[in-house]
């Protein structure tokens, strides 16, 4: 293996050597990524977190000459996780799953430099049984929300439920709708953004619209217009990292408060009260409002709605 890169966000780019040709993809990764079992790497590949030449691949894929393998280790191995009494807003619970209305500022699972204060730590305190399909550091976690995104997230209590829910997400059978406040006044009533997303080649900590990235589709409708802002409902058909944030920034309508992608747009606001209000938010204006899926056991359609948290509704009053 040669010309390999990793970064503090646990992403990697691998270029196999001639000695690696013909090896299975999962076996190759197991040889070159420390502390990750082959089984976990197989799940990573199956979940679409590993790309070969910018395309999804199977664990059984055979390494070829000039392959470029890119991926993201979504959480490093953390064998010891401590339960922490962090308050949770439980929207629904039964013997198989839990739906949480996550508060902004709460990281979903352990990552680089993060070992506690996560949703997983909180889940371990409040619930006795959680799926271990994703490992101890991601106990129960089926999908993710960014740290500063609030809203609905489903958690699995057992492995069978976890796998069934993961399949629904993979097959795009889960309805996910967000509320986003963006810079600029959008005149159209609705639209779609269908632009591939990949890791930014200049800043590996960010994602960006990229021709050779993974396909991503977001649908938006206007909920309310303000003088210099627009409140949108955004449904995502795919689940790419930072998808809504990247797509809206691509349209030059970045999310309010999103310092990573709005390139200082917040600081250009003339109204001092609004500018100060954004600073006081200490988060960006993105909320996972609606979540619908089929219950893996009962086969019942499950629909959930989480209203905007107080800090976001209070900010809207400023507008």
Question: Where in the sequence numbering do the catalytic residues fall?
Answer: 146
CA-to-CA separations, 219 to 95, 232, 238, in angstroms, rounded: 34, 10, 10
Tell me which H or E stretch contains 177: strand 175-183
Q: Which of 183, 241, 189, 186 is nearest to 214 (CA)?
A: 241
Burial of residue 132 (number of CB atoms within 10 Å: 0-12, 13-18, 19+): middle
How far is residue 144's CA from residue 154's CA, in Å, rounded to a whole number?
9
Phi/psi of residue 69, each to 5°? -110, 120
Strand-pair category, 69-72 with 11-15? antiparallel
What is the CA 201 to chain-centroid distance, rounded? 19
Phi/psi of residue 161, each to 5°? -65, -40
Tell me which H or E stretch contains 93: strand 90-93
Adjacent-strand bridge partners of 199: 207
Token pair, residue 113, equals 């430099």
């Amino acid at each position: 293996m040669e010309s390999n890169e990793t970064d503090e966000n646990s992403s990697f780019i691998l270029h196999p050597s001639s000695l690696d040709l013909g090896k299975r993809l999962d076996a190759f990764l197991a040889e070159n990524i420390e502390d990750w079992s082959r089984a976990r790497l197989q799940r990573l590949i199956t979940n679409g977190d590993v790309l070969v030449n910018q395309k999804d691949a199977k664990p059984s894929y055979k390494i070829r000459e000039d392959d470029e393998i890119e991926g993201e280790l979504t959480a490093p191995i953390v064998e010891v996780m401590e339960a922490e009494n962090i308050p949770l807003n439980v929207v629904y619970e039964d013997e198989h799953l839990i739906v949480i209305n996550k508060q902004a500022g709460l990281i979903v699972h352990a990552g680089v430099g993060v070992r506690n204060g996560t949703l997983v730590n909180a889940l371990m305190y409040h619930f006795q049984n959680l799926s271990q399909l994703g490992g101890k550091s991601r106990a129960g976690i089926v999908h993710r929300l960014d740290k500063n995104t609030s809203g609905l997230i489903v958690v699995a209590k057992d492995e069978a439920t976890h796998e069934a829910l993961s399949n629904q997400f993979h097959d795009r059978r889960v309805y996910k709708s967000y509320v986003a406040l963006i810079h600029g006044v959008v005149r159209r009533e609705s639209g779609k953004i269908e632009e591939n997303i990949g890791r930014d080649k200049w800043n590996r900590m960010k994602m960006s619209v990229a021709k050779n990235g993974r396909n991503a589709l977001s649908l938006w409708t206007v909920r309310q217009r303000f003088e210099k802002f627009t409140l949108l409902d955004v449904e995502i058909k795919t689940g790419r990292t930072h998808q809504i944030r990247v797509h809206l920034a691509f349209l030059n309508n970045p999310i309010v408060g999103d310092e990573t992608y709005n390139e200082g747009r917040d600081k250009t606001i003339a109204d001092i009260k609004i500018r100060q209000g954004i600073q006081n938010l200490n988060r960006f204006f993105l909320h996972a409002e609606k979540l619908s899926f089929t219950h893996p056991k009962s086969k019942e359609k499950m629909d959930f709605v989480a209203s905007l948290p107080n800090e976001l509704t209070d900010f809207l009053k400023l507008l």
